[in-house]
């Protein structure tokens, strides 16, 4: 509970406008909404600046729609990731204005207008695109102006260097790569902005499902690089959007 809200509540207790029992209940309970299958954390937007995001994996279309409706009612915004085609379709039918980004496997609605700044999502190979697009659309869902620079892996380093100026224009960079995961180190050495590195499960054999890229990124010799889970484009896009908007906070 917010300190100001707390003092107001205590004042209401003192002047008798609030019963002790009710005050006690309010102090003990956080705002949650129980949907039977899910206990929605309604206070998330107040605390974190963004309502809960739906992690779609393993949820039925019916559950997805119920949670999405509750979110639209309480916050007017929706972001659902890792959706099956059926789940995405159900959401698009149920939620007016919902957009489905197929390759990114996500649905969003109530996306705010693009703010200032630039989140640049950079990816190494063709197979890294789905994860890069998940990062891209997550950042846009949080109100960031976001762009994607694709297919600039380190084995053709000149492809990357041709875009040095664009790299340096971003306020936050998401760098997506599988296999040896070297791209964040090279980019981290070219820019003065934070880099969020996303290892992907692209590869085979000793890539160990993306662990090789993850370890490489954690050991980056460039400063200013931090890392999210394998294939976690959502998390990287979210962090980058938060970084981008430190300059123009959405809440007073």
Cβ atoms of 90 and 63 closer than 8 Å: no
Residue 233 contacts a copy of itself per CB under 8 A: no
Q: Restricting to residues 135-154, which ones interact with a copy of itself according to CB under 8 A?
A: 150-154
Identify the H or E element spanning 48. Answer: helix 44-48
> Which of 174, 114, 168, 124 is CA-nearest to residue 145?
114
Shortest Å distance, C-beta 200 to a copy of itself: 9
Shortest Å distance, C-beta 230 to a copy of itself: 3
Please identify, among the stretches 38-46, 70-78, 85-93, 106-114, the one whose residues bind a copy of itself according to the rule CB under 8 A. Answer: 38-46
Shortest Å distance, C-beta 6 to a copy of itself: 6
Kindly list the distances between the CA atom of residue 221 and the CA atoms of 37, 120, 124, in Å, as whole numbers in the listed order. 45, 21, 18
Residue 14 contacts a copy of itself per CB under 8 A: yes
Q: Restricting to residues 47-76, which ones interact with a copy of itself according to CB under 8 A?
A: 47-50, 53, 57-59, 63
Q: Rounded to an integer, what distance in angstroms lies between the CA atom of residue 47 and that of residue 169?
A: 30
Residue 7 contacts a copy of itself per CB under 8 A: yes
Identify the H or E element spanning 12. Answer: helix 3-14
Shortest Å distance, C-beta 218 to a copy of itself: 4
CA of residue 153 relative to chain centroid, distance: 24
Residue 215 contacts a copy of itself per CB under 8 A: yes
Residue 210 contacts a copy of itself per CB under 8 A: yes
Residue 84 contacts a copy of itself per CB under 8 A: no
Q: At what angle do helices 20-28 and 3-14 cross, to 10 degrees?
A: 160
Residue 112 contacts a copy of itself per CB under 8 A: no
Contacts of 149 (CB under 8 A, 6+ apart): 120, 121, 122, 123, 163, 166, 167
Looking at the Cβ atoms of 96 and 241, the one nearer to a copy of itself is: 241
């Amino acid at each position: 509970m917010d300190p100001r809200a707390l003092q107001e509540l205590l004042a209401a207790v003192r002047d008798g406008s609030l019963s002790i029992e009710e005050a006690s209940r309010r102090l003990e309970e956080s705002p949650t909404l129980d949907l039977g299958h899910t206990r929605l954390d309604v206070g998330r937007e107040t605390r974190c600046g963004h309502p809960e995001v739906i992690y779609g994996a393993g949820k039925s279309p019916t559950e997805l729609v119920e949670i999405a409706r509750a979110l639209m009612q309480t916050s007017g915004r929706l972001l659902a990731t890792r959706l099956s085609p059926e789940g995405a379709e159900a959401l698009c039918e149920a939620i007016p204005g919902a957009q489905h980004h197929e390759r990114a496997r996500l649905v969003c609605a109530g996306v705010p207008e693009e703010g200032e700044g630039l989140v640049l999502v950079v990816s190494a190979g063709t197979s890294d695109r789905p994860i890069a697009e998940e990062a891209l659309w997550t950042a846009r869902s949080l109100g960031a102006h976001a762009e994607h620079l694709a297919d600039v892996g380190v084995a053709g380093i000149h492809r990357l260097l041709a875009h040095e100026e664009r790299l340096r224009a971003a306020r936050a960079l998401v760098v997506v790569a599988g296999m040896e995961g070297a791209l964040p180190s090279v980019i981290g050495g070219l820019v003065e902005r934070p880099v969020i590195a996303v290892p992907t499960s692209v590869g085979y054999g000793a890539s160990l499902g993306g662990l090789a890229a993850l370890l490489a990124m954690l050991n980056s010799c460039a400063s200013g690089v931090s890392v999210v889970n394998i294939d976690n484009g959502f998390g990287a896009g979210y962090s980058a959007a938060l970084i981008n908007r430190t300059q123009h906070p959405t809440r007073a």
